[in-house]
Structure 1
Amino acid sequence: MSPRFIGLDFGTTNSALAVASPEGAARLVPVRHRNELLNTFRSILYFDDEERDPNGRPHAFAGPDAMDAYLERGAEGRLIQSVKSYLANPNFTSTSIFNSRFTLENLVGFIVARLVDATAEAEELSGEMLAGPVVVGRPARFVRNSLGVADGAHDDLAVARLREALRGVRIPDVHFEFEPVAAAYSYEASLARDELVLIGDFGGGTSDFCLLHVGPGMREVKARGETIVGVSGVGLAGDAFDARLIEHCVAPRLGKGTNYKSGSKTLPVPSWPYDTMKRWHELSLINTRKTRRMLEEIGQTAEAADEVAALSRLISEERGFALYQAVEATKVALSSSPETTLHFDLDPVTIDARVTRAEFDSWIAPELAEISTCVDRLLEETGTSPGRVDRVFLTGGSSFIPAVRRLFAARFGAEKLAGGGELTSVATGLALAARQRFGD
């Protein structure tokens, strides 16, 4: 049997596997869920105190199984999302779940192992991943400081943790590739001539950019770094856009900016739960007895008692994922419609917030400015004028946002924008990268 080349895209929101034969196109390895075949695997975990593994520790549901368990059991368990976003954080080493401690590497490993197990090719893939190289995607920059400069120490920490997590689930021979470079492999497969391409990869937590040469003349170059002109990135993307919708459409309807009585004093409702809400995957971290007691006491004298009660329910019932779904649906709708409604039912409050695309564009203007600055910095550092760029390939969910596309159209020309496989091009590109590196 001919060898296969494997690419693993471990993402903040979704993960995927792809394989490539010695010749031809790469293909995604679908995952099975009930009677469906899915191209991507949601990067979430759910733990239920009633479900234990053979060692007596809480069982980790992952991907669509985690979503099902969460929707069925809700606040009875613990939902964990956006694990990738913690890799560069030295302060997050482990977490206690129903009196069992799990390291960050454990959490990453659960997601990847369950992803492999959910495929129809699980046994074959497991053997191949144990015995041979696997090319794994990584952001161009896991983290940058406030001046936009790459933070090498934290970046190295994230890579080391990801490598260790994969070793823990029997993937010992790991080779990393920049995610935008992987997307370039996918785009390059359709080219008949060489081009200088800017790849923009918009994930959940990072926006990464790579300027490189692609095309028929580059396909035999095993050290792909030779074709890269420059890379850059910024630590914001889809999650940051979601946060703006939460800030403007959700938080004001859950008591933000209102007051409560404490003795003879009138005090503002604390802002920190609303700040945490912007990073919806962190809501479970504040679902503590102290937080619940605080909100209960505030609600007794709050001028917006129903809204504070709804906030308390959002946290105590682990409704963060449901909130994310409502926000994501709103963002997607605004990509094709000039206005829509963000609907979220959180008894005793029902949120029906009308939002226009123009409003959304104004809310995400600071993030767009950071992305614009990052791209300009890359062009300046590489001495490349926009006119020299032959094509701009945009991938990732946020590449559909009209304001994002306008930013690149204004700088490079709308006719140069290209896309395709926005949610899967990185995975297939990683498999092609594996073939180019390790094929004969």
Structure 2
Amino acid sequence: MLGFDYGTSNCALGIMSGDKPELISLADHGTYMPSSLYAPSREVIVNWLQQQLSPDAKAEFSGLRRFQLQKGQSMLRELALDDIPGDLFFGKQALARYLEDPSEGYYIKSPKSFLGASGLKPQQIALFEDIVAAMMTHVKQLAEQALQQDLHQVVIGRPVNFQGLKGEESNKQAIDVLTNAAKRVGYRDIEFQFEPIAAGFEFEASLERETRVLVVDIGGGTTDCSMQLMGPQLMPNLDRSPHLLGHSGQRIGGNDFDIQLALKGIMPQLGMDSLLKSGKPMPVNSYREAVAINNINAQTEFYSGANGRFLQQLKRDAEQPELVEHLIQVHQEKLSYQLVNSAEQAKIALSDCDNDKIALDYLNNRNKDETADVSRLLLLDAAKRELGSICELMQDTVKQAGCQPDAIFVTGGTAKSPVLREHLQAQYPDSQFIIGDNFGSVTAGLTRWSQRIFS
């Protein structure tokens, strides 16, 4: 009986130890594995996954992915000629492999962000299903090694809405991907629970009386809010729907804060705020697409051959062509994830200090000391729209509930940021404001719910 937070930022599994949830150690990853994967080629993911499956699952999978497996086998032969193994890497190891040579291999961060995307073709959905299954397999194998037992029952967390567009259609697509992947890797009993409700279960365990709680779960890809009636007398109920007073969610999360900080803090160093020789401002669309790592269409457009030619023309037209040369380097070496990762590390650093410097030596071999200066004020300005949207979600949830919260419980990695915390607290100065376990609240709540429904 597991709680599984397949998160946009991190993956974590929990199991009950007595009356308390305990996160499972995932070997070298620790209790949290960053949600990222690296393969020497996208085509070989399916072949790696096939080798991990049980005989029955392998036979079914081989029938479903016959063409992809043949293509992957051909790619494995090509890689072998260059003495490159077909191994996959996960978490921090995946990021490290990508950073060794961003122009080679296939790296994906936060695949959960794409599961509800509209307009995906069947082959794209199949690829995401295989990526999710590969990550689930890796995590499940490590958990089974740690616990010395087979794992078959799981509650998986889900946001209220995976995607802002096409609401329930997007949600169904994402849930189908997660369900198919979980079945494929050996989970027999699979249930889902809203992430803000799960986070609320963990907070509820600390309450001594009935309380109206506004739970704000700011994940890597989505923000979910729920107003819940909680208390020790309500905890034993298996049907908590009467206690859910309102909920809302939107595709805004920590990744968006990273992207906006990259745009405001780094892209000026690449010429975004410079001028053309004509005196006109530099077109900004390519700069936005370059860091939009959670938007398939934007990334496809940025890395297209047509955009490469456009950037070369932009360099010729620029008043400071050496700056645009950096953007061309991003295009040629596929550095989008590296840029956003730099911004993410700066965002984390700004939790403890007012100012930070982002090292940009990978953009300029001639000047190893080049940096971009960022601050909490810059982060606040960069994330203005995202903060406003989160406040609107909170207001909408309170309006649905028809009452004010006694307490506001905020969880998720970005909740650690003082910029976010102070902005949200200012919206409800009369409510008790609590910051939960930045990463573990959802996993712990899912684990508690798993024990209740599977016992």
Instruction: Give the TM-score category using the shorter length.
Output: 0.7 to 0.9
Residue 89 (str. 1) matches residue 117 (str. 2): yes
User: How big is the shift at 1:107?
Assistant: 1.3
Counterpart for residue 143 of structure 1:
163
Give 1:256 shift. 2.2
SS of residue in 2 equivalent to 1:198: strand
Deviation by residue 1:12-46 (Cα, 9 ceiling, x = unmatched): 1211111114x31000011112xxx5121111111
How many angstroms does 1:201 deviate by?
0.4
Instruction: Give the structure-1-normalised TM-score.
Output: 0.84
Matched to 2:331, the amino acid is I
Q: Does 1:370 align with 2:389?
A: yes
Mapped to 2, the partners of 1:437 and 1:151 lie a distance apart of 27
Partner SS state of residue 204, structure 1: coil
Out of 106, 111, 116, which is 1:78 matched to?
106
Distance 1:366-1:6 versus aligned 2 partners, 3 A rule: same
Asked if 2 retains the 8 angstrom alpha-carbon contact of 1:335 and 1:400, the reply is yes
| Residue segments in structure 2 that go unaligned for 5+ positions in a row | 52-68, 77-85
- The 2-side partners of 1:91 and 1:297 are apart by 31
Matches within 5 A, 1:4-403: 5-21=1-17, 23-33=18-28, 38-49=30-41, 53=48, 56=73, 59-93=87-121, 103-119=127-143, 121=145, 124=148, 127-129=150-152, 133-145=153-165, 151-258=167-274, 271-280=284-293, 285=300, 286-296=302-312, 298-299=314-315, 302-345=318-361, 346-348=363-365, 351-385=370-404, 389-403=405-419
Question: Distance in 1 between the 2:146 and 2:191 partners?
Answer: 21
**Is contact 1:196-1:214 (8 Å) kept?**
yes
Structure 2 CA distance for partners of 1:363 and 1:206, relative to 1, 3 Å: same
Q: How many Å apart are 1:87 and its aligned residue?
A: 1.2
Aligned amino acid, residue 280 of structure 1: I
The one-letter amino acid paired with 1:358 is L
Between 1:368-377 and 1:62-71, the stretch displaced more is: 62-71
Contact 1:238-1:397 at 8 Å conserved across structures: yes
CA distance in 2, matches of 1:229, 1:295: 51
- For residues 256-309 of structure 1, the C-alpha deviation after alignment (integer angstroms, 9 at most, x for no partner) is 255668xxx998765332112232355864445544454345445643332222
Partner AA of 1:16 in structure 2: A
Higher strand fraction: Structure 1 or Structure 2? Answer: 1
Distance 1:242 1:49, change over 3 A: closer
Distance 1:422 1:139 in 2: 16
- Is the partner of 1:217 in helix, strand or coil? coil
Secondary structure of the residue that 2:266 maps to in structure 1?
A: helix
Q: Write out per-residue CA displacement over residues 228-247 of structure 1, whole angstroms, 9 at most, x where no aligned residue.
A: 11111122121221222122
CA distance in 2, matches of 1:176, 1:216: 23
> What is the alpha-carbon distance in structure 2 between the residues aligned to residue 370 and residue 10 of structure 1?
24
**Cα separation, partners in 2 of 1:68 and 1:367, compared to 1, 3 Å:** closer
Letter in 1 for 2:330: L
**Cα distance in 2, alignment partners of residues 102 and 178 from structure 1:** 24
1:187 and 1:296 mapped to 2: Cα distance?
54
Q: Which position in structure 1 is the counterpart of 2:60?
A: none
Aligned mates of 1:102, 1:291 — CA distance in 2: 28
Q: Separation in 2 of the partners of 1:269 and 1:78? A: 31
Q: CA deviation at 1:168?
A: 2.4
1:401-440 alignment runs, 5 A limit? 401-413=417-429, 416-439=432-455
Give the TM-score, by structure 2 length.
0.82
Question: How far apart, CA to CA, are the structure 2 residues paired with 1:156 and 1:60?
Answer: 28
Q: Is the 8 A contact 2:10 2:33 kept in 1?
A: yes
Report how far residue 365 of structure 1 moved: 2.0
SS in 1 for 2:20: coil
Structure 1 pair 109–381 and aligned structure 2 pair: CA distance change class (3 A): same
> What is the alpha-carbon distance in structure 1 between the residues aligned to residue 6 and residue 162 of structure 2?
13
The answer on whether the counterparts of 1:75 and 1:316 sit within 8 Å (CA) in structure 2 is yes
Whether the aligned pair in 1 keeps the contact of 2:291 and 2:337 (CA below 8 Å) is: no
For 2:410 and 2:398, locate their aligned partners in 1 and report how far apart those are by CA, in whole Å: 16
* Residues 274 and 319 in structure 2, CA contact (< 8 A), matched pair in contact too: yes
SS at match of 2:15: strand
Between 414-423 and 171-180, report the one with greater CA deviation: 414-423
Larger helix fraction of residues:
2
- Partner letter of residue 359 of structure 2? H
C-alpha displacement of 1:392: 1.2
Which residue identity lines up with residue 103 of structure 1 in the other structure? L
What's the secondary structure of 1:336's corresponding residue? coil
Q: Is 1:63–1:115's contact at 8 Å kept on the other side of the alignment?
A: no
Give the C-alpha shift of residue 214 in structure 1.
Answer: 2.0
Q: Alpha-carbon deviation of 1:415?
A: 6.5
Give distance in 1, aligned partners of 2:103 and 2:139: 24
Please provide the CA RMSD for this pair: 2.9
**Per-residue deviation, 1:174:** 1.4
Distance in 1 separating the partners of 2:282 and 2:130: 37
Name the counterpart of 2:82: none
Which secondary structure does the structure 2 equivalent of 1:187 belong to?
helix
Deviates more, 1:151-160 or 1:24-33: 151-160
- After superposition, the Cα gap between the structure-2 partners of 1:228 and 1:124, relative to the gap in structure 1 and judged at 3 Å, is farther
